[in-house]
Every structure is written in C-alpha cells, then in structure tokens.
C-alpha cells in the first residue's frame, strides 16, 4: 500500500499586480470604476507524479527554488493544489521548520505543550512526554527557563526532540538535520533510523546529498518545478550533480 | 482535520496571550477590571454631573451593558488580527486556521468572565442581587460569544486580503458603540424620531445585531430579572445567523491563507 500518491500535481501562484491591498484602496478602485489588475502566473510545480510506499524513505533533491518546499507544503495541506490530486493514507506530520510555533517568553516545558498542541496533540499527552523530550534535547536543567535564554542549538534540539517524541505514520522533514553540532546530528540520524525500523514513511528534503544517499530508499530530483529524475538515490544524485555542472565528487556536502 | 483534535492548540495560545498580557504587570489580572471601571466612572461623571439624567443607579446601568460591549469589541478586534499576526504559524504548521481567531476570542472570554464575576460579587455584597437575571447570564454569554466568533472569523479572513481592515475596524467600532444601547435605553430614543424613513428605534434594532443582546444583559444585571423572551429570541437569531455566516466565510477563505499571507 502506498502512503502517499501524487498524481498530475501542479501549483501555480498568481502574482497580482495593482490589486487593492487595503480597504481604502478597494474603495478608491470602486470609485474609479476601473482596475488595471495584472495577473502574472508563476508555475512552481508542473505535473508532478510519484508515490511513496508505506515504510519507504523518499529523498527530494534539487536546487534552491526548484519547488521542493512548495511540494512539501502541498503534501502537508498548507497549500491547496492548483490541479492534480494528493492521496495520503495515514496520519501525516510535516516538519517544515524546527521550532516553528515556539514562543520566546514561554519556558521549555510550556513550549513543549504549545508546540505539541499545534501539531494536534493534547496537553495531557504532551505533559507525559516532557521528561523524554528534555532528555533527548539535553535541556533538562533549563526546562523551566524561558526559551529566549536558550542558545539556537538548544532551541533546534528541542524542536527536533518534540517532533521525534510525537511520531506520525508519515513524516515530512524539510532540511531539519542541518542544525546542531556533529554529535547531535549523529543522534538525529540514529533517531531517523529508529523511525525507519519502526516502519514509518519518511519524506526528506535535503541539500546534504550524503544524507539522502545514506538514509533514503528512493529519491526524486526537482528542477524549476519539473520532476527530472526518479530512482535510486545514487542515480538521482548523479543526474542532479551532472546537471549542476559539477562533478559528483565535488558536490558541496555540508556535514557528515 | 477536525478542529476538536486541535482544541488544546486554541487553549495553549489563549494561555500564552493571557500570560503575555499579565506578565510583568503590577496588578496582573486586575487590569481587566480597571478598564471597564474607569469607563464607568467617566460615563457616570459625564451623565450625572455634566449632563444629568434621572436613571437610578446609573453606574450599574452603564456597567451592565459596558462589560458585554467591551468583551465583544476586544474579541472581534483581536480575532481580526489573529491570522495576519499568526503568519509564521500558518506558513509552517498545518493546523486548522480557525484555531487562531478562536484562541483570541477565548482569551477575551476568560478576562470577561473574571470581570463579570467580580462585578456580580460586588453587586451581591452591596445587597443588590441579580434575581432571576443570574440564571440567564450563561445563555447570554454563550450567545455573545457565538456572535463574536461569527464576526471575528469574517474579519480575520478579510484582514488577510485587505490589511487595513483592522484600522477601519477601530473607527467602525466607535460608531457601533454609540449605535448600541449602552449609554441609553432603546426607549429613550424619541418615538417620533425617524431615520431613513423608519423609526430610529427600529433602525438601531434592525441595523445592529448586538442591540437585543446588550439590552438583555441590562435586563439581567441592572433590572434583576430574566430577559424578555422575544428579546432573547432575536438575540439568538442574530447570533446564529452571524455565527454561520462567519464560519462559511472563514472556511472558504482559509483554504488560501498560506498563499495570500
């Protein structure tokens, strides 16, 4: 059974020039009896089709602006597709940015409850996981300190720890491993392998090609909104690297 | 995506709002009482010293309607800016968008309930109970909240598209305040006065969905009786119509919030 099935998916953003953006502007337009509104379509994704089998890990690679994040937002339900269909079998959680929804004035503990709630978990169920999350994020002594006093590394670790403590059947991860020091990254990779072993479906967007190669069963390559290649991580990364006019060996890798 | 699953998100955000509001303040939650009491003092001064009138217990008369109005206007103002202020959340997390305005309204509901309880307590201590009016209050608070949710959802959606909705709202609310029987009774409007071809009383009642509900609050708290059933009927009708309208508008608009923001 497939966890995700994407058919003929397209997303066009319309950049509207000269449209009234304010109530006052709206009335001025009405009074003028004309509006020269320009609609400039921008196609972020064009006719994308792929599927992810249950328990599989799919990597998505591509240059900046190729549509990777748009694709994840569509899968997550944050954006609405212009055309095409997305079928999701199972509970899906999208981690587009670690610490999205954190508030600096709240303590680590309160942020765990708030963040969990924004992802659809009750405060009671999150309260039961506080100890486990704090231990993994290595913030136990600072649990009741306001988040504004945390280092950025601590905040990122807390974000990742919350996400890992509330696993869903399908998890979308956008570049979330590009944080933390080497030791924490190793811990993160170990955690992802645990999720794989537990049969979760993962979709991973990353510029860290080594990671895609290590973790993913399959990969797709997006360029300017089009699906360029699909297949084993080795093939897809090779095609992407060749297209970027850089030998695969010299492809910048940010971390190990 | 059921809103019920995300109920704790609205609760947590409301808790955050309350904490931010009352953190680092000297008298904390008492602030929610200071504002209506101060307004009451000003209005009492104006209408008993400068422009005297013969309404007995004028402070109670004003406060009985003013508390409800303050709740309503704070609820819809904060709901209106909730989605635009929550841009970071809307773009990164896929929760039901209605969580944001609902959290804003819940915040005000908590503050209002506190203020209302204190005022009622003081009234009882001063030997002036509410009688059967007390029984009606939960229903009145519920109807007012439904009304605020309806209007607040619609304004939140509008503010995403037209960003100065919030600016217009503050001007609009000033006019709305005086078109609502808060400082006066509907019956104090001269019966023969006409506006746009209909009697001014009917005009205020028809154009202002808040009018019957505010009058019902006054009957419960000031007149110490169960509000007229006809009044409750029109208040309930207004609340339901605006609630459903707001839910429909927001439901439709919220699909493209992330794209527009």
The rounded percent of chain B whose pLDDT value lies above 70 is 97
pLDDT tier, A32 (very low <50, low <70, confident <90, very high otherwise): low
Write out pLDDT tens, residues B84-93.
999 999 999 9
> B169 and B76 in contact (C-beta within 8 Å)?
yes
**Assigned domain for A19 exists:** no
A168 touches chain B (CB under 8 A): no
The answer to whether residue A248 scores a pLDDT higher than 50 is: no
**CA atoms of B14 and B127, how far apart (whole Å):** 35
Q: Are residues B162 and A26, on separate chains, in Cβ contact within 8 Å?
A: yes
Beta-carbon neighbour count of residue B245 at 10 Å? 14
**CA atoms of B63 and B134, how far apart (whole Å):** 15
**Average pLDDT score over chain B:** 89
Smallest CA-to-CA distance from A8 within A98, A82, A99, A103 is with A82
- Higher-pLDDT residue of A24 and A44 is A44
> A78 and B91 in contact (C-beta within 8 Å)?
yes
pLDDT tier, A34 (very low <50, low <70, confident <90, very high otherwise): low
Question: In angstroms, how far is CA B154 from the centroid of its own chain?
Answer: 15
* Distant-in-sequence, close-in-space partners of A231: CB < 8 Å, separation ≥ 6: A218, A219
**Which residues of chain A are within 8 Å of residue B91 when distances are taken between CB atoms?**
73, 78
End-to-end, the C-alpha distance of chain A in Å comes to 33
Strands B198-199, A83-88: parallel, antiparallel or unpaired by DSSP? unpaired
The residue-averaged pLDDT of B89-116 equals 93
| C-alpha dihedral, B216 to B219 to B222 to B225, nearest 10° | -130
Q: What CATH number should be reported for the domain holding residue A201?
A: 3.40.50.300
**Assigned domain for A43 exists:** no
> Residue A255: what pLDDT?
43
**Assigned domain for A18 exists:** no
pLDDT tier, B235 (very low <50, low <70, confident <90, very high otherwise): very high
> B231 and B219 in contact (C-beta within 8 Å)?
yes
The answer to whether residue B18 scores a pLDDT higher than 50 is: yes
Which of A7-11, A223-227, B190-194, B223-227 comes out lowest in average pLDDT?
B190-194
Collapsing DSSP states into helix, strand and coil, what is residue B111?
helix
**Which residues of chain B are within 8 Å of residue A105 when distances are taken between CB atoms?**
16, 19-20, 23
The domain locations on chain B are: 3-260
**CA atoms of A181 and A186, how far apart (whole Å):** 9
Least CA distance to A21: which residue of chain B?
B162
> A125 and A167 in contact (C-beta within 8 Å)?
no
Write out pLDDT tens, residues A100-134.
889 999 999 999 999 999 999 999 999 999 999 99
Largest Cα–Cα distance of chain A, in whole Å? 64
Q: Are residues A78 and B90, on separate chains, in Cβ contact within 8 Å?
A: yes
pLDDT tier, A142 (very low <50, low <70, confident <90, very high otherwise): very high
Place of tokens 């897809």: A236
Shortest distance, CA B21 to any CA of chain A (angstroms) = 11
* Distant-in-sequence, close-in-space partners of A22: CB < 8 Å, separation ≥ 6: B162, B163, B164
Angle at B133 between CA B131 and CA B134, to 5 degrees: 85
Inter-helix orientation angle A108-118/A130-137, to 10°: 110
> A227 and A49 in contact (C-beta within 8 Å)?
yes
A117 touches chain B (CB under 8 A): yes
Smallest Cβ distance to B255: which of A25, A80, A97?
Answer: A80
- For the four alpha carbons of A183, A187, A193 and A197, in that order, the dihedral sign comes to positive
Show the DSSP H helices in B86-199 as ranges: 87-92, 99-125, 133-161, 165-178
Q: Are residues A101 and B164, on separate chains, in Cβ contact within 8 Å?
A: no
> Residue B261: what pLDDT?
82
> Residue B1: what pLDDT?
53
Place of tokens 């609205």: B10
Range of the domain at A90: 54-250
**Assigned domain for A118 exists:** yes
Smallest CA-to-CA distance from B133 within B43, B13, B73, B220 is with B220
**Which residues of chain B are within 8 Å of residue A44 when distances are taken between CB atoms?**
none
The answer to whether residue B62 scores a pLDDT higher than 60 is: yes
The residue-averaged pLDDT of A151-177 equals 87
**Assigned domain for A93 exists:** yes
**Assigned domain for A11 exists:** no
The number of domains in chain A is: 1
**CA atoms of B105 and B145, how far apart (whole Å):** 8
Task: Tell me the residue length of chain B.
Answer: 261
* Distant-in-sequence, close-in-space partners of A44: CB < 8 Å, separation ≥ 6: A11, A12, A13, A67, A70, A225
Q: List the beta strands (DSSP E) in chain A.
A: 2-17, 38-53, 57-61, 83-88, 92-95, 170-174, 201-205, 218-223, 226-231
**CA atoms of B223 and B246, how far apart (whole Å):** 32
Q: List the beta strands (DSSP E) in chain B.
A: 194-195, 198-199
Specify which residues A13 forms β-bridges with: A42
* Secondary element (H or E) of residue B60: helix B58-85
**Assigned domain for A246 exists:** yes
**Assigned domain for A21 exists:** no
Place of tokens 């944080």: A179
Collapsing DSSP states into helix, strand and coil, what is residue A228?
strand
**Which residues of chain A are within 8 Å of residue B166 when distances are taken between CB atoms?**
none
Beta-carbon neighbour count of residue A31 at 10 Å? 7
The token duo for B36 is 């209506």
> Residue A219: what pLDDT?
92
**CA atoms of A90 and A170, how far apart (whole Å):** 7
């Amino acid at each position: 059974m497939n966890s995700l099935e994407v058919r003929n998916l397209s997303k066009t953003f319309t950049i509207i020039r000269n449209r009234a953006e304010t109530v006052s502007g709206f009335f001025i337009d009405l009074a003028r009896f004309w509006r020269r509104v320009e609609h400039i379509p921008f196609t972020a994704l064009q006719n994308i089709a792929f599927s992810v089998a249950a328990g599989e890990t799919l990597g998505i690679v591509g240059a900046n602006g190729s549509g990777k994040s748009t694709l994840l937002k569509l899968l997550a339900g944050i954006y609405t597709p212009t055309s095409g269909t997305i079928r999701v079998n199972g509970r899906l959680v999208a981690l587009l940015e670690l610490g999205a929804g954190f508030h600096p004035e709240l303590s680590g503990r309160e942020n765990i409850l708030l963040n969990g709630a924004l992802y659809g978990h009750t405060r009671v169920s999150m309260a039961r996981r506080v100890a486990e999350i704090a231990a993994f994020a290595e913030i136990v002594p600072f649990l009741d300190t306001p988040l504004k006093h945390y280092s950025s590394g601590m905040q990122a670790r807390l974000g990742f720890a919350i996400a890992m403590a509330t696993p869903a059947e399908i998890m979308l991860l956008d570049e979330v491993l590009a944080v933390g020091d080497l030791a924490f990254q190793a811990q993160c990779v170990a955690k992802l392998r645990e999720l794989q072993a537990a049969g979760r479906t993962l979709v991973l967007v990353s510029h860290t090609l080594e990671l895609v190669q290590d973790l993913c069963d399959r990969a797709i390559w997006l360029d300017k909104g089009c699906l360029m290649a699909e297949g084993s991580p080795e093939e897809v990364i090779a095609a992407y690297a060749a297209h970027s006019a850089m030998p695969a060996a010299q492809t910048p890798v940010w971390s190990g | 995506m059921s809103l019920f699953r995300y109920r704790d998100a609205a609760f947590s955000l409301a808790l955050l709002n309350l904490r931010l509001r009352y953190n680092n303040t000297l008298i904390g939650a008492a602030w929610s009482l200071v504002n209506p009491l101060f307004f009451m003092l000003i209005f009492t001064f104006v209408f008993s010293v400068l422009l005297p009138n013969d309404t007995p217990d004028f402070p109670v008369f004003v406060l009985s309607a003013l508390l409800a109005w303050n709740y309503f206007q704070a609820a819809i103002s904060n709901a209106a800016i909730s989605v635009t202020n929550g841009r970071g959340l809307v773009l990164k997390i896929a929760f039901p968008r209605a969580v944001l305005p609902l959290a804003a309204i819940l915040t005000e509901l908590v503050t209002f309930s506190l203020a209302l309880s204190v005022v009622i307590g003081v009234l009882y201590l001063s030997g002036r109970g509410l009688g059967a009016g007390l029984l009606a209050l939960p229903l009145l608070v519920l109807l007012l909240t439904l009304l605020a949710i309806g209007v607040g959802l619609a304004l939140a959606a509008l503010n995403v598209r037209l960003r100065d909705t919030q600016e217009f709202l503050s001007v609009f609310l000033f006019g709305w305040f005086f078109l609502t029987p808060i400082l006066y009774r509907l019956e104090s409007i001269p019966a023969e006065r006409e506006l746009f071809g209909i009697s001014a009383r009917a005009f205020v009642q028809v154009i202002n969905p808040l009018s019957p509900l505010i009058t019902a609050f006054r009957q419960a708290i000031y007149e110490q009786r169960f509000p007229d059933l006809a009044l409750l009927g029109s208040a309930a009708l207004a609340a339901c119509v605006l609630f459903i309208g707001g839910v429909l508008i927001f439901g439709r608009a919220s699909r493209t919030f992330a794209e527009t923001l």
